Each structure stands twice: as structure tokens, then as C-alpha cells.
Amino acid sequence: MKEHRAKIGIVFLIVFIDLVGFGIVIPILPLYAEEYGPSPVTFGLLMASFSIMQFIFAPILGRLSDRFGRRPVLLVSLLGSAVGYVLFGVAGSLGMLFASRIIDGISGGNISTAQAVIADITGPEDRAKGMGLIGAAFGLGFILGPAIGALLVTVAPWLPGIAAATASLIAFLLVLTRLPETLDPEAKSEARRRPLNLRSLAEALSYPLVGFCLVMVFFTIFAFANFETTFAQFAKLRFGYTMSTIAWLFVYAGVLGAVVQGGLVGRLSKRFGEGRLIVAGTLLSFLALGLMPFTESRGPLLATLAVLALGQGIAHPSLSALTSKLAGPDEIGGVMGVYQSISSLARIAGPFWAELVYGGLGYPWPFRTGSVFMLMACVTAAVMLTRLRRREARTA
């Protein structure tokens, strides 16, 4: 048990450090791109290039981790991220910026592989807690990263990229020296018996109810992307907030979400189960997104953000935990890779849709469409929960 806790702690550190690097780069990427005067379409492609590459390559890296182990894939992906960040730091053209994001996207199997590690070393009763810690590391890293990036960019424009690369290399060294292989040899052997092709990936998704989980992943992340993409514009237009105030609102929501994922999800999961938590989390998120355009002062806005952070904080780790439980031991990496791929697809589609309806229909509409998609996720979760109960009743 102590050994598993130590491994979970190492995975937490790896994800946290790597996401600090990611958070350093992402907020300043648009500023770097603006120097080269890209067209709106080119700008959109640059911002989406990382997610597009992840959509294509995350399932492949996941299947490779089933066949060859989690450590090799983590090591390669972290090195790839470091190379991408170095290119970002020294980029002297728009083409180099594209290359940096594409390389990072191709090699960016860090999160899905880390989720597979958690699935390897936790029992069903502790799976949501482990996934919650991954989510907390993700959130904390993305809170600290932008702050570091904002400080470093004032010193030298190349420094944020080099700092992000350094963070990935530190995570690489942690994997190399502190994280043993967690994939069961029997599961690895079983995975190697099957060919690595699109058919084998489709077979990995043939497990009952995995399809429900993937639909919910798309709905929830698409919905949240509507909020995330346009919240700064909404807060500036509705309340007249400065960028500094808006940044602190993101920090506030991020810290709340990290606390929920790191400290609350495990206990709630043991008491209620992942299915009920997904229903509750998506329902809370639906209410928060629907109410957001009606907030008229700081108090209601903070309360609505807190409800959204609570909803997302219990829904996402519960969803990833349940998805990993529904897969076979020799298919977890592949299934979590597809999970990450669907997440990337939602992160491509969500921001484009959000800005489209924001510009065409007005500031309430990204929140309204987001709430509709979150309600669809809640209904899907309720149907899935019913089927889970029927299956449990048949096997009891």
C-alpha cells in the first residue's frame, strides 16, 4: 500500500511539473503569433494544432503503452514536449511556432499515460481518488504556469520556452529515476498478441458502456470550452473587469477545482460511486453555465464559479475513473488514449463554436449552448447509470 502511495505521489509530481511547463507557454502563445500577422484562419489553426495532433496520436501512444509499458511512453512524450518548448523559445517565424505545437501535440501522451499508471496501481474503490489527484495536479500546474510565464516574458522573450522545456526535463528525470514500470507483465503480453491498427483500437472501445463515457467526455469538455474561451470577454463586457481581475477569477476557480479533485472526490466516490458523481457533477455544471449570464455583481459571479468548479471537479475524475474500470487491464492505455483524443476533439470544436456564437448572437450564448451540452451529458450519465445498475444486478 505504501509503495502504491509513493507511486501515486510521483505521478502527481510528474503531471504537476509538466503542466507548469504547459501553463507557461499557452497564455503567451497568441502574443508571439501576433508578431507575424497571421490571418484569422491561420491563427485558429495554430491554436488548435496541438489538440489536432493529440486527437490523432493520443490513442496510438495509449496502445503503445499497453504493448511496451508506461515508462517508455512517458519518457518519449516528455522528451518530445521539451523539444517542442525549446523550438517555441527560439522560434523566429510562424512556421517554427507551428512546428513547436505540432511536435508537442504528437508526443503529448503524458496525461492519458499517467491516467493508465493510476489505473494500473489502484483498485476499483480508490480509482476515482487517484484520478482526482491527477486532475488536482493538472489544475495546480495550470495555475502556477501562467504566473511564471508572465514573470519570465518580461525578462526575455525566449525564457518562457526554455523554462517550460526545463520543467518537462525535470519530469523526465523523475520518471527515469523514481517511477518503476506499473503495467502488469501478463497484460503487456496479452496486448502484444494483438496487432497495432485501427481495428484493434475499435475493439478496445467495444467494452460495454465505454461509448457512453466517450460521448460524455466530448459533451462536458465542449461545454466547458464554451465557458473557458469567452469568460474573459464576458467579464470585461459585463462587469468592466481588468485582465488582472479576470486572471484572479480563473485562479479562484482553479484552486477550488483542485481542492475538490484532490481532497473530496475519493471520499464521495467510495460513498456514492462514480456514476452518481458524474450525474451530480454535470447537473451542477449545467446549472452554473445556465445562470452565468444572469449574474449582475461579484458575489453571485463568485458563487456561480464555485458551483461550476465543484461540478467539474467531481465529474471529470469520476468519468476518467469509470472509463478505466470498464476497460480490460491490457486495453487501459488504448482506451484512455481514445479518451484523451476525444477530449482534444472537444477542445478544437468548443472554442471555435464559442467565438462563433459570441460574435454572432451575443455574450450569453456560449454559456447557453454550453449548458445545453452539459445537460446532454447529464442525461447520458443518467442512462448509463441505469444500465450500470442493471448489469450489477445481473452479476450479483
pLDDT digits (tens, 9 = 90+) for 84-130: 999 999 998 999 999 999 998 888 766 777 777 887 887 767 777 77
**Total number of domains constituting the chain:** 2
Q: Which residue range(s) make up the domain with 14? A: 1-184
Structural domain ending residue among the three candidates 138, 158, 184: 184
**Helices 210-239, 298-326: inter-axial angle, 10-degree rounding:** 160
For residues 261 and 390, membership in a common domain is answered with yes
Could you tell me if residue 148 is left (phi over 0), alpha (psi between -120 and 50 degrees) or otherwise beta? alpha
Cβ pair 128, 274 in contact under 8 A: yes
Helix 110-121 × helix 127-153 angle, to 10°: 150
Residue 189 covered by a domain: no
State whether 244 and 159 are in the same domain. no
pLDDT score, position 349: 85
Interval 295-322: pLDDT, tens: 988 899 999 999 999 999 899 889 988 8
Share of the chain above pLDDT 70, in %: 90
Answer whether 0.85 is exceeded by the pTM.
Answer: no
Least confident of 77-86, 184-193, 249-258: 184-193
Cα 226 from Cα 358, distance rounded (Å): 9
The answer to whether position 191 is within a domain reads no
105 inside domain: yes
Instruction: Pick the last residue of a domain from 184, 216, 235.
Output: 184
Contact of 143 with 258, CB cutoff 8 Å: yes
Q: How far apart are CA 336 and CA 343, in angstroms?
A: 10
pLDDT of 169 reads 92
Give pLDDT, residue 372.
Answer: 96
Residues 33 and 74 in one domain: yes
Residues 72, 97: one domain? yes
C-alpha pair distances (Å), 357 with each of 119, 216, 229, 250: 38, 22, 12, 22
Position 188 scores a pLDDT of 65
- Does 382 lie in the same domain as 237? yes
Q: Are residues 154 and 19 in the same domain?
A: yes
72 and 208, same domain (yes or no): no
Map grid coordinates 483500437 to a residue: 201
Position 192 in a domain: no
Domain co-membership, 202 together with 179: no
Residue 190, domain member (yes or no) = no
In this structure, the answer to whether residues 133 and 211 fall within a common structural domain is no
Tell me, what's the pLDDT at 197?
52
263 and 154 fall within a common domain: no
Residues 295 and 360 in one domain: yes
Given pLDDT bands bounded at 50, 70 and 90, which one contains residue 332? confident
In a domain, 7, yes or no: yes
Percent of the chain, pLDDT > 90? 25
Look at residues 235, 261, 214 and name the one whose alpha carbon lies nearest to residue 367.
Answer: 235
Give pLDDT, residue 378: 96
pLDDT digits (tens, 9 = 90+) for 213-259: 888 999 999 999 888 877 877 888 888 887 667 767 877 887 888 88
Specify the pLDDT at position 190.
63
Residue 75, domain member (yes or no) = yes
Per residue in 354-396, pLDDT (tens digit) is 878 887 888 899 899 999 999 999 999 999 889 888 877 776 5
The pLDDT of residue 3? 63
Task: Please report, for the domain that includes residue 320, its CATH number.
Answer: 1.20.1250.20
pLDDT score for 22: 78
Q: Among 19-28, 214-223, 280-289, name the one with the lowest average pLDDT.
A: 19-28
Listed residues 153, 184, 215: the one ending a domain? 184
| Three-state secondary structure string covering the chain | CHHHHHHHHHHHHHHHHHHHHHHHHHHHHHHHHHCCCCCHHHHHHHHHHHHHHHHHHHHHHHHHHHHHCHHHHHHHHHHHHHHHHHHHHHCCCHHHHHHHHHHHHHHCCHHHHHHHHHHHHCCHHHHHHHHHHHHHHHHHHHHHHHHHHHHHHCCCCCHHHHHHHHHHHHHHHHHHHHCCCCCCHHHHHHHHCCCCCHHHHHHHCCCCCHHHHHHHHHHHHHHHHHHHHHHHHHHHHHHCCCHHHHHHHHHHHHHHHHHHHHHHHHHHHHHHCHHHHHHHHHHHHHHHHHHHHHCCCHHHHHHHHHHHHHHHHHHHHHHHHHHHHHCCCCCHHHHHHHHHHHHHHHHHHHHHHHHHHHHHHCCHHHHHHHHHHHHHHHHHHHHHHHHHHHHHHHHC
The pLDDT value recorded for residue 14 is: 81
Under the banding of pLDDT at 50, 70 and 90, the label for residue 204 is: low
User: Residue 99: what pLDDT?
Assistant: 95
Same structural domain for residues 14 and 68? yes
The yes-or-no verdict on residue 187 having pLDDT over 70 is: no
Question: Is 142 inside any structural domain?
Answer: yes
